[in-house]
Structure 1
Amino acid sequence: MSAKDIVQSYITEMKRGSLVLAVLGSFQRPYYGYALLQELKDKGMMVEANTLYPLLRRLEKQGLLSSDWDTTESRPRKYYTVSEMGIAVRIDLLKEWQAMQASIEAIYEEE
């Protein structure tokens, strides 16, 4: 395995690990799946649809998101919103992520 392959593998792991935080942080308003994909992309977080949709269902099953169907358009859309528990989890995850980021920065300041 080349160094490039190893780096790409670790990048994938880092993205997977931070995706929940990114998704929960994106819900300043309700989103349907495709609009959320676009929002994440616009903010520099590239996510595949086949990764996002199962994650949305899992977060809903865990009680971190809730959903409602909008059938007023010609094509029904399932809109997701973050729940109170989702907001609490988002706050805790963000604090932990910031602490880890500060630790890593401290480690690399010594170089």
Structure 2
Amino acid sequence: MGTEETTAGHIQELRRGTVVLACLVRLGTPDYGYALLESLNALGIIVDANTLYPLLRRMEKQGLLESEWNTEDARPRKFYRTSPAGEELAVVLTKDWRRIDAALTGLTRGESK
């Protein structure tokens, strides 16, 4: 396996969990999939549509997201929003993310305990 492939694989693994947290936080304001995709990418949270849509369905199945169809426009759109269970999980994940970030910041500065 080449260096670029190895790096890409590790970056993908690192992003995988962060996309879940980003969706939970971002969907505190209801939105449809494509708008979510665009806003995450604009924020620098790069995710592919082929990854995001299955993730949204899985999170809905897990009770972390709720959805409803908006049929008022010419093209129906499925809007997602974070459920109460998803909000609780977002708090837990954010707390752990901050702990990990602080630990990694310390490591990269040469601080060890």
Shared fold by TM > 0.5?
Answer: yes
In the alignment, is residue 91 of structure 1 matched against residue 91 of structure 2?
Answer: yes
The one-letter code sitting in structure 2 at the alignment partner of 1:90 is A
Q: Which residue of 1 aligns with 2:64?
A: 64
Give the Cα separation in 1 of the matches to 2:85 and 2:17: 19
Q: Which residue of 2 aligns with 1:103?
A: 103
SS in 2 for 1:92: helix
TM-score (norm 2): 0.92
Give 1:81 deviation, angstroms.
0.7
**Equivalences for 1:38-77 in 2 at 5 Å?**
38-77=38-77
Q: Which residue of 2 aligns with 1:13?
A: 13
Give the Cα separation in 2 of the matches to 1:84 and 1:28: 10
- The 4+ residue runs of structure 1 with deviation greater than 6 A are none
SS in 2 for 1:68: strand
Give 1:17 deviation, angstroms.
2.2
Give 1:3 deviation, angstroms.
2.6
Give 1:28 deviation, angstroms.
3.3
SS in 1 for 2:67: strand
Q: 1:17-68: CA deviations, max 9, x gaps?
A: 2110111111131111111111111111111111000110111111110001
The one-letter code sitting in structure 1 at the alignment partner of 2:6 is I
Give the Cα separation in 2 of the matches to 1:17 and 1:11: 11
Q: Percent identity?
A: 45
Flag structure 1 segments of 5+ consecutive residues without an equivalent: none
